């Protein structure tokens, strides 16, 4: 369960009365607004459904029976709670502090000059201190806002709340809008990370924006997109994600915008794309930076908030659909504004200057222990049956090593390192440095090679070439010149073998990509069903159909079949497929082998 946000309220009224066991005004505030008083100086009342934990700070001391404002003590209290966990989510700051001489600021005659308020003095010190400057400050005062606003406006204050208007709902809104609050779905408590979450919430609030997420690979952009959806007024409406990296252009178009019946060979029915499916909700376009040029121009009309139109493949102009949605676009191309292959007008439409920057793991090292613990627990929960039931811990040295490592692949890399350590050493209760495969560090167990990583970098080019070949074949006619006829004559067996080999290679890549390491098999077990789902792009295909696909692909060409069976990955996949669907294939297989 998430802990409550912890806020500090610096206000002379709510500070503990000297010698008194209770502060009735504070009790009234806590009960009406829903605050859980954790100051600890006086007995706190019990509050039903509190919205935050609060520490009250009077900002004053009593010396020789006289009350005076305590700048150093107050700044120390603010600093202490900011540099330790859980840190302040918000600082609510009063302006006027009552001392023996009366209210500060009140003594100065208006004609004599600008009155000074202790709240403003505190604010000035917080603003000037680089360590404290990131604290979200909200003014909570009974003073007239017009009277004082210009004096705090350029001091990083997020909001002004009139004390008479401080209700539970108002405070909840202030905390949500400006507070640095943790999330259940996204792990982290560092300032850069919490700032990123706050920005995401603020942008999501509108519900009609185009939001660009910029962040290195593995920083959690997709998770942040889901967080935006959950924080938006459209959270109860659909959420759809489109993945574009390494996907052929026509398929991106199809996935994003859908197609009409007959739009291409095999398009038996009209299908809505993700944009249409996300109508009234949120659409996330992952790896937006990799969108082909034709899709970029089509996306322009979807991103124009005044238009929001989507056109399916094969749709006529009168079949264009008007949509109402919020679009989240994610990319790891941090230099996208300078990219020559990207339409500038598209970037203007997503307001690149307002892009939310997702911090890399290097920028939020403070979160590494929290994330590492979370990933250990996640592995334990996922493999309860095979792992030793005791909870694992990470040794202090290992934690230091994790914190110092470079993590070019960011959080995803960290998760893999933890996963790998837990699975490779399932019987251990303490993970030490030697168990970790840190980036740039050789494996601690030379017999266990890491699972071949799926490298999508070559995929777009390959996919593009494949599409070119398919397009060329689609439009091939034998009515061309003699030279052309010569070029194609007798090439069918070769084409057949190439197709068979290419299909087998694609299947192998999918089998590799879907391997999941387990304690028994750190390289990952081969599973044909998810691999075929991935290769076919069909989530609904059954296990037996998947086995048929594997058999068909491998036995398409006799020569390729032999090569495939000799291959450890394809050979194992074939064995599994034959076990699942023994008929015919077994006969064929034994015949071929004999």
Partner 1 sequence: MNSQWQAKRTKLNHDWLKNDFLRRLRAFVSRVEDGAQDAARLEEFACKHWPEWRRHSHLIRDMLIDGEECLSPRQYFACLPLSACPAEVKSWLPNLIHALWLVRTDIRRHNAEAQCSLNRAEALFDELSPILQHASQNLTSDLAKSVGQLREFEAAAKQLGESIGRLPHHVEVV
Size of the site for partner 1 (CB under 8 A): 23
Report in angstroms how near the CB of residue 181 gets to partner 1 at its nearest.
25
Binding mask 77-96 for partner 1 (x = CB under 8 A): -------------------x
Residue with tokens 């997020």: 158
Closest CA to 407 of 371, 373, 457: 371
Binding mask 254-293 for partner 1 (x = CB under 8 A): ----------------------------------------
- CA neighbours within 13 Å on the CB side: how many for 136? 24
Instruction: Rule CB under 8 A: say whether 98 interacts with partner 1.
Output: yes
DSSP 501-512: HHHHHHHHHHHH
Nearer to partner 1, 120 or 186 (CB): 120
Report in angstroms how near the CB of residue 7 gets to partner 1 at its nearest.
18
Report in angstroms how near the CB of residue 179 gets to partner 1 at its nearest.
22
Per the rule left: phi > 0, alpha: psi between -120 and 50, beta: everything else, 194 is alpha
Q: How far apart are CA 522 and CA 541, in angstroms?
A: 27
Instruction: Rule CB under 8 A: say whether 57 interacts with partner 1.
Output: no
Instruction: Rule CB under 8 A: say whether 147 interacts with partner 1.
Output: yes
Report in angstroms how near the CB of residue 422 gets to partner 1 at its nearest.
49
Q: How far apart are CA 30 and CA 14, in angstroms?
A: 10
Instruction: Rule CB under 8 A: say whether 353 interacts with partner 1.
Output: no
CA distances from 208 to 60, 152, 230, 349 (A): 46, 31, 14, 13
CA 481 to chain centre: 55
Nearer to partner 1, 147 or 354 (CB): 147
The correct pick among 20, 25, 476, 592 for binding partner 1 (CB under 8 A) is 25
Nearer to partner 1, 26 or 589 (CB): 26
Report in angstroms how near the CB of residue 12 gets to partner 1 at its nearest.
9
The correct pick among 17, 27, 249, 563 for binding partner 1 (CB under 8 A) is 27
Report in angstroms how near the CB of residue 110 gets to partner 1 at its nearest.
4
The correct pick among 28, 169, 404, 538 for binding partner 1 (CB under 8 A) is 28
SS3 274: helix
Residue with tokens 């007798």: 490
Report in angstroms how near the CB of residue 71 gets to partner 1 at its nearest.
22
Report in angstroms how near the CB of residue 143 gets to partner 1 at its nearest.
6
Instruction: Rule CB under 8 A: say whether 49 interacts with partner 1.
Output: no
Report in angstroms how near the CB of residue 48 gets to partner 1 at its nearest.
9
Instruction: Rule CB under 8 A: say whether 163 interacts with partner 1.
Output: yes
Instruction: Rule CB under 8 A: say whether 13 interacts with partner 1.
Output: yes
The correct pick among 3, 49, 84, 144 for binding partner 1 (CB under 8 A) is 144
Report in angstroms how near the CB of residue 150 gets to partner 1 at its nearest.
12
Question: Do the bridges between strand 90-93 and strand 137-141 make them parallel or antiparallel, or are there none, so unpaired?
Answer: parallel
Nearer to partner 1, 112 or 520 (CB): 112
Nearer to partner 1, 9 or 399 (CB): 9
Q: How far apart are CA 5 and CA 10, in angstroms?
A: 16
The correct pick among 93, 143, 214, 372 for binding partner 1 (CB under 8 A) is 143
Nearer to partner 1, 11 or 367 (CB): 11
Nearer to partner 1, 20 or 465 (CB): 20
First to last CA, the chain: 62
Q: How far apart are CA 318 and CA 306, in angstroms?
A: 18
Whole-number CA gyration radius for the chain = 31
Stretch that binds partner 1, among 20-28, 64-72, 73-81, 521-529 (CB under 8 A): 20-28
Closest CA to 119 of 20, 13, 32, 191: 13
Report in angstroms how near the CB of residue 96 gets to partner 1 at its nearest.
7
Binding mask 102-121 for partner 1 (x = CB under 8 A): xx--x--xxxx---------
Closest CA to 15 of 3, 5, 29: 29
Report in angstroms how near the CB of residue 111 gets to partner 1 at its nearest.
6
Report in angstroms how near the CB of residue 74 gets to partner 1 at its nearest.
19
DSSP label at 350? T
Q: How far apart are CA 21 and CA 27, in angstroms?
A: 12
Stretch that binds partner 1, among 143-151, 284-292, 358-366, 583-591 (CB under 8 A): 143-151
Nearer to partner 1, 46 or 72 (CB): 46
Nearer to partner 1, 165 or 341 (CB): 165
DSSP label at 165? G
Stretch that binds partner 1, among 61-69, 136-144, 501-509, 530-538 (CB under 8 A): 136-144
Question: Do the bridges between strand 102-103 and strand 98-99 make them parallel or antiparallel, or are there none, so unpaired?
Answer: antiparallel
Closest CA to 139 of 115, 172, 168, 161: 161
Query: Which contacts (CB < 8 Å, 24+ apart) does range 127-132 have?
Result: 127/155, 127/156, 129/75, 131/79, 131/82, 131/83, 132/75, 132/78, 132/79, 132/82
Closest CA to 192 of 328, 329, 357: 357
How many helices (H) and strands (E) the chain has is answered by 22, 21
CA distances from 331 to 335, 340, 474, 502 (A): 10, 16, 33, 30
Closest CA to 52 of 178, 229, 200, 143: 178
Report in angstroms how near the CB of residue 33 gets to partner 1 at its nearest.
9
Instruction: Rule CB under 8 A: say whether 354 interacts with partner 1.
Output: no
Instruction: Rule CB under 8 A: say whether 24 interacts with partner 1.
Output: yes
- The site for partner 1 (CB under 8 A) is made up of 13, 24-25, 27-29, 31-32, 96, 98, 102-103, 106, 109-112, 142-144, 147, 163-164
């Amino acid at each position: 369960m998430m802990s409550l946000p912890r806020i500090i309220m610096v206000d002379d009224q709510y500070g503990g009365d000297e010698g008194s066991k209770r502060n009735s005004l504070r009790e009234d505030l806590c009960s009406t607004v829903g605050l859980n008083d954790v100051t600890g100086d006086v007995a706190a009342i019990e509050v039903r459904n509190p919205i935050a934990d609060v520490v009250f700070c009077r900002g004053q001391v009593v010396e020789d029976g006289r009350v005076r404002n305590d700048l150093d003590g107050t700044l120390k209290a603010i600093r202490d709670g900011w540099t330790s966990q859980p840190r302040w989510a918000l600082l609510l700051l009063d302006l006027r502090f009552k001392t023996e001489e009366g209210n500060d600021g009140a003594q100065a005659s208006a004609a004599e000059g600008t009155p000074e308020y202790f709240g403003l003095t505190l604010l000035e010190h917080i603003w000037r201190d680089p360590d404290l400057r990131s604290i979200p400050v909200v003014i909570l005062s009974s003073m007239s806002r017009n009277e004082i606003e210009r004096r705090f406006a350029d001091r990083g204050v997020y909001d002004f709340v009139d004390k008479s208007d401080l209700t539970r709902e108002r405070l909840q809104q202030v905390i949500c809008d400006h507070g640095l609050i943790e999330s259940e779905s996204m792990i982290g408590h560092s300032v850069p990370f919490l700032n990123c979450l706050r920005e995401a919430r603020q942008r999501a609030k509108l519900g009609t924006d185009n939001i660009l997420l910029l962040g290195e690979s593995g920083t959690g952009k997709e998770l942040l997109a889901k967080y935006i959806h959950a924080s938006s007024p459209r959270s109860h409406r659909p959420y759809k994600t489109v993945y574009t990296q390494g996907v052929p252009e026509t398929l991106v178009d199809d996935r994003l915008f859908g197609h009409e019946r007959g739009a291409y060979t095999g398009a038996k029915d009209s299908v809505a794309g993700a944009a249409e499916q996300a109508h009234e909700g949120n659409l996330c376009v992952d790896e937006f930076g990799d969108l082909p040029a034709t899709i970029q121009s089509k996306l322009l009309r979807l991103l124009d908030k005044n238009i929001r139109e989507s056109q399916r493949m094969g749709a006529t102009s009168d079949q264009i659909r008007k949509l109402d949605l919020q679009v989240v676009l994610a990319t790891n191309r941090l230099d996208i504004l300078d990219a020559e292959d990207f339409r500038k007008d598209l970037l203007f439409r997503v307001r690149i200057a307002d892009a939310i920057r997702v911090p890399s793991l290097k920028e939020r090292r403070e979160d590494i222990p929290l994330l590492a613990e979370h990933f250990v627990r996640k592995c334990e929960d996922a493999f309860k049956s095979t792992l030793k039931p005791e909870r694992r811990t990470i040794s202090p040295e290992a934690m230091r090593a994790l914190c110092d490592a470079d993590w070019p692949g960011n959080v995803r890399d960290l998760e893999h390192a933890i996963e790998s350590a837990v699975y490779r050493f399932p019987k251990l209760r303490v993970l030490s440095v030697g168990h970790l495969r840190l980036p740039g560090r050789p494996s601690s167990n030379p017999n266990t090679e890491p699972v071949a990583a799926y490298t999508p970098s070559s995929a777009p080019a390959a996919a593009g070439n494949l599409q070119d070949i398919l397009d060329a074949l689609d439009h091939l006619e034998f009515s061309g010149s003699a030279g052309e006829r010569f070029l194609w004559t007798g090439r069918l067996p070769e084409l057949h073998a190439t197709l068979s080999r290419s299909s087998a290679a694609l299947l192998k890549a999918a089998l590799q990509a879907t391997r999941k390491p387990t304690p028994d098999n750190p390289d990952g077990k081969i599973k044909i069903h998810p691999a075929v789902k991935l290769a076919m792009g069909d989530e609904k295909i059954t296990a037996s159909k998947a086995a048929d696909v594997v058999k068909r692909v491998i036995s398409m060409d006799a020569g390729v079949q032999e090569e495939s069976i000799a291959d450890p990955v394809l050979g194992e996949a074939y064995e599994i497929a034959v076990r699942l669907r023994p008929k015919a294939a077994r006969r064929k297989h034994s015949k071929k082998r004999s």
